[in-house]
Amino acid sequence: MTAFEEILAARAAEAGIPLTAEQIGQFSVYNEMLLDWNTRMNLTALTAPEDVAVKHIIDSLTAYDAALFDGARTLIDVGTGAGLPGIPLAVYAPHLTVTLLD
């Protein structure tokens, strides 16, 4: 497990957000892509593993409310920028079809 994955798993557990090993792996790929693309265009000033895990992913997942989302099939993230909160929500709730609109 990478340092990012360890931080994400620990912070998600602290926040009471259950993540599967598969989701942690998907978030790790997102983190790598975010950092790679951030070298070409300014997507975010926050690139440290702790910051991406907490301020990007965990903060995005706090928008998830099972009472609102479980019956939903689609979601649009308007003004998505670096894909937040849309990509984390799509990983966390794979039953949703998420559209990112910037």
Give per-residue pLDDT as tens, 1-49: 899 999 999 999 999 999 999 999 999 999 999 999 999 999 999 999 9
| Domain encompassing residue 90 | 3-101
Q: Is the pLDDT of residue 70 over 90?
A: no
Q: What is the pLDDT of residue 68?
A: 87
Return the number of other C-beta atoms located less than 10 Å from residue 93's C-beta: 16
pLDDT exceeding 70 applies to what percent of the chain?
Answer: 100
Whether the predicted model's global pTM rises above the 0.75 cut: yes
Among candidates 79, 83, 98, 78, which has minimal Cα distance to 34? 83
Mean pLDDT computed over every residue of the chain: 96
**CATH code where residue 89 lies:** 3.40.50.150
**Residue 47: which residues within 8 A CB-CB, separation 6 or more?**
34, 35, 38
Q: How many domains does the chain have?
A: 1
